[in-house]
Chain A
Amino acid sequence: MFRAIFYKERVKTIWYALLALIVSVGFAGYMMLRVSRALSLQGPEHIWIVMLQRDVIFVDMLKFVPMIIGLGFAIVQFVPELQRKSFKLTLHLPIRASHAVGAMLLYGVVALLVIFLPALALMWGYLQSVLPTELWQHIIFTTIPWYMAGLAAYLLTAWVAMEPTWRMRIVDGVIALLLIRIYFLSATPESYNGFLPELAILTALFAPLSLISLTRFRDGRQD
């Protein structure tokens, strides 16, 4: 049954996932192209010095990309199904509704990891060939909260999308916005390093929130 749910989710999201993968890897590639161009035009000394003295990390444009991808993934995965009211059919499958929704969320999280990890791998692969450990780690560690924000945006959007009433959707949306803000509080590179375990736990805590919306959905709550 879980295989069938994963298949259903794949059918729904495959084109968006491919587009997101292209955007994710494309942005990371573009950032690396900028680094490469700066290296050839201004020399490695310039790159190293601006990183050391001015906190430049060259990948700032990537900041909100994972969050937008995560948000979009949840919308593509859940909103059409909810609007067509076919979500009810999923809940009538011969497994527990919470397991069905859990499988849908698991699919989404794994898909996002498949979208994000090649981008991180591309950046790591290039940067470690031209920069010393301290500098490429400086860049990669700075981007990790942004990718976590992508997962958080996905889980929170799924929670808000599944909520059956507009009144609570707005309340949940405001809560989700404030929670997402936590991932973008500091512009200082590597400022989240010591907070990454807590941030990972916080992100994981967003996953079960969808079950509150699911319960309200099954209870027939309406505006």
Chain B
Amino acid sequence: MLRIIKIIFWALVAMLALWELPWCYNFFFTGGSPSVPFTLYSSVVGEFAMLDHNDKKFSYSDRTGREYTEEQFDSILPMFYYHQLVTDGRFPETICGVSVTPRQIQISNFNYRIEPAELNKPQIGLYQMLETMSGRVDLVLPDDVFRLTDTGIEFIDMATNSVNEKKSKAFTDMMLSKGFRFPAHRIAGNPTDRKEYDEGYVMLDADRKLFHVKMTKGRPYCRAIELPEGMTPEYLYITEFTARTMLAFVIDTEGGFWVVNRPSYDVVKTGLPAIDPNEETLLIMGNMFDWTVTVRDDVSRRYYALSASDYSLLDSLIYDTPSDAIKGLDFTSHKDKFVRFR
């Protein structure tokens, strides 16, 4: 008996050693991943442009090795530094042969981040459906929430904690009539009043068919979005950018990255290589000419330039960022918000 207990004791000690010793080594003896320069694709020079910071000095260059002054750097990235160009009176009349105004740039620019930890975290399973056409400038949070059940959608009045049968039936009937099969496989929305407009939710039904569901003037709106042949969507991200030219991003089961355009509901595949949103962080910095997509994982930082018009791949650049950290037993990870042995 005592032998078994001693085995338990030493197993617990071994578990703690595997957990804490690598952590101590990494904390005291490793320097983390090497830093990489700030990188954006420039449609003006047709290359990736880099801003680096070494020995308290900034250096500006592009991938071909051309060096730039700070002012020249502003000019080759006019969509990013347009405020500075306007302030200096250097804002050009045309960019890449297209006549643009600072206001157009402001509207078309967007940043979007996709993080594994946002995907893999505990979900409560209650959502808010905002009114998308209230007729007012400011969005207002609703006084109910909804849950998705095996047989329909259920709205719960927050003041009374009771199901609003009439509204639930109206939405369920509308969704069923559009071919939605419960239970839903996935749902994505951005239920906040701190945005310019609301597009409700994109959902995958039990057959992985894609739907757009929202509330307009108190009534349900549901639209089935036709998917290209052979594409199976897995992860959804609603965009709600100022330009209103896109509805959502979709990542399929093969890691392909797709854009759902608005208002046509066309689903267009981008030129991005396969990505894994459970393991990799994506940062998309878009403008009216190009998108710079940064994909970061444990060992590299990859930059992809996409055309903003057809989402084709223009260029790519990969920085290796190997880590000398040693791996031990762990319970948490920056890639999710769950505690477990890993």
Q: Which residues of A contact B (CB under 8 A)?
A: 43-45, 48-49, 51-53, 98, 130-132, 134-135, 138, 175, 178-179, 182, 185-186, 188-195, 198, 205, 208-209, 211-212, 215
CA gap between A213 and B121 in the complex, in Å: 41
Q: Would you give the shortest CB distance from B189 to chain A, in whole angstroms? A: 12
CA gap between A188 and B20 in the complex, in Å: 22
B340 and A198 form a contact (CB under 8 A): yes
A134 and B339 form a contact (CB under 8 A): no
B5 and A212 form a contact (CB under 8 A): yes
Q: Which of B320-341 contact A (CB under 8 A)?
A: 331-332, 337-341
CA gap between A205 and B158 in the complex, in Å: 43
* Residues of B contacting A190 in the complex (Cβ-Cβ under 8 angstroms): 122
Main secondary structure of the interface of B (DSSP, over half): loop
CA gap between A53 and B123 in the complex, in Å: 11
Contact of A52 among B13, B121, B126, B337 (CB under 8 A): B126
B5 and A209 form a contact (CB under 8 A): yes
B339 and A191 form a contact (CB under 8 A): yes
* Residues of A contacting B122 in the complex (Cβ-Cβ under 8 angstroms): 138, 188-191, 193
Contact of A209 among B9, B19, B156, B339 (CB under 8 A): B9
Q: Which of B1-50 contact A (CB under 8 A)?
A: 1-2, 4-6, 8-9, 12-13, 16, 19-20
CA gap between A52 and B338 in the complex, in Å: 18
What 1/0 mask marks residues of chain B from 163 to 207 whose CB sits below 8 Å from any chain A CB?
A: 000000000000000000000000000011000000000000000
- Indicate if B125 sits at the interface (CB-CB under 8 A): yes
Q: Which of B56-87 contact A (CB under 8 A)?
A: none
Q: Which residues of B contact A (CB under 8 A)?
A: 1-2, 4-6, 8-9, 12-13, 16, 19-20, 121-122, 124-128, 141, 143, 145, 147, 156, 158-159, 161, 191-192, 331-332, 337-341
CA gap between A32 and B240 in the complex, in Å: 38
CA gap between A211 and B7 in the complex, in Å: 13
A48-B145, A182-B331, A208-B8 known; A134+B126 contact, CB < 8 A: yes
A138 and B12 form a contact (CB under 8 A): no
* Residues of A contacting B126 in the complex (Cβ-Cβ under 8 angstroms): 48, 52, 132, 134-135
Q: Would you give the shortest CB distance from B150 to chain A, in whole angstroms? A: 14
A190-B122, A191-B338 known; A211+B5 contact, CB < 8 A: yes
Contact of B159 among A45, A132, A186 (CB under 8 A): A45
- In the A-B complex, list the 6 residue pairs whose CB atoms are closest, starting with the nearest: A190-B122, A188-B337, A208-B5, A45-B158, A195-B339, A48-B158
Q: Would you give the shortest CB distance from A38 to chain B, in whole angstroms? A: 13
B16 and A179 form a contact (CB under 8 A): yes
Considering only CB atoms, which chain A residue lies closest to B4 in the complex?
A208
CA gap between A198 and B15 in the complex, in Å: 13
CA gap between A182 and B341 in the complex, in Å: 11
CA gap between A192 and B332 in the complex, in Å: 10
* Residues of B contacting A53 in the complex (Cβ-Cβ under 8 angstroms): 191-192
Q: Would you give the shortest CB distance from B19 to chain A, in whole angstroms? A: 8
CA gap between A47 and B124 in the complex, in Å: 14
A185 and B332 form a contact (CB under 8 A): yes
CA gap between A137 and B192 in the complex, in Å: 23
CA gap between A92 and B149 in the complex, in Å: 61
Contact of A195 among B20, B127, B340 (CB under 8 A): B340
A194 and B332 form a contact (CB under 8 A): no
A178-B20, A209-B8 known; A194+B161 contact, CB < 8 A: no
Contact of A49 among B19, B141, B156, B338 (CB under 8 A): B141
Considering only CB atoms, which chain B residue lies closest to A186 in the complex?
B339
Considering only CB atoms, which chain A residue lies closest to B11 in the complex?
A205
Considering only CB atoms, which chain A residue lies closest to B154 in the complex?
A132
Considering only CB atoms, which chain B residue lies closest to A141 in the complex?
B122
